[in-house]
Amino acid sequence: MVLIFGGAYQGKLEYTLDNFGLSEGDVYRCGENTELDLSFKVLYGLENFVMGCVKAGIEAGELLSEYGDSLTDKIIIVTDISQGIVPMDPKERSWREMTGRTMVYLGRRADRVIRVFCGLGREIKG
């Protein structure tokens, strides 16, 4: 598994497609629900899936662990939302915290972790 993260608008998806020789057709765009389509190579916008989990009252990491080994060949892209102001809205606070926990969980499982900064990648694990 490869985990790719970075702030908003940093060019994470473009970086992934360019560096892994993939195209838009390989990308599953996560919605604010608890569904993932594992027929795609890239799971993009996992923070939306986390928001879906918050709304459903499920811990995202636990749901992801149920997928087991079927995630090992995936590239997961998450927006890092951990470094700003603590949101006023309790649901946004839960979202921010659950996204952090989920990234720690995925970072531990991933073979490679890459941070994208202004379109440039930095391998922090692998």
Partner 1 sequence: MNIFISGGCKNGKSYHAQELARDMARENSLPLYYLATMIPTDEEDRARIRRHLSERDGWGFETIEQGRNICEVLTGSTLSGEKVSPEGVFLLDSVTALLSNEMFLPDGFMDESAGERLAAELADFAAKTGNTVFVSDYIYSDARTFDRYTESYRRALALIDRTLAALCDRVIEVSYGFKYLYK
d(CA 52, CA 48): 6
Beta carbon nearer to partner 1, 36 or 81? 81
Binding flag, residue 12, partner 1 (CB under 8 A): no
State the minimum distance, in angstroms, from the CB of residue 82 to partner 1: 6
Q: What is the DSSP string of 49-107?
A: HHHHHHHHT--HHHHHHHTGGGGTT-EEEEE---SSPPPSSHHHHHHHHHHHHHHHHHH
Amino acid identity for residue 104 in this structure: V
Beta carbon nearer to partner 1, 3 or 74? 3
Binding flag, residue 11, partner 1 (CB under 8 A): yes
Binding to partner 1 (CB under 8 A) within 56-115 occurs at 80-85, 87, 89, 92-93, 95-96, 99
Beta carbon nearer to partner 1, 38 or 84? 84
Pairing of strands 42-44, 2-6: unpaired
Binding flag, residue 39, partner 1 (CB under 8 A): no
Contact footprint for partner 1 (CB under 8 A)? 6-11, 80-85, 87, 89, 92-93, 95-96, 99, 117-120, 122
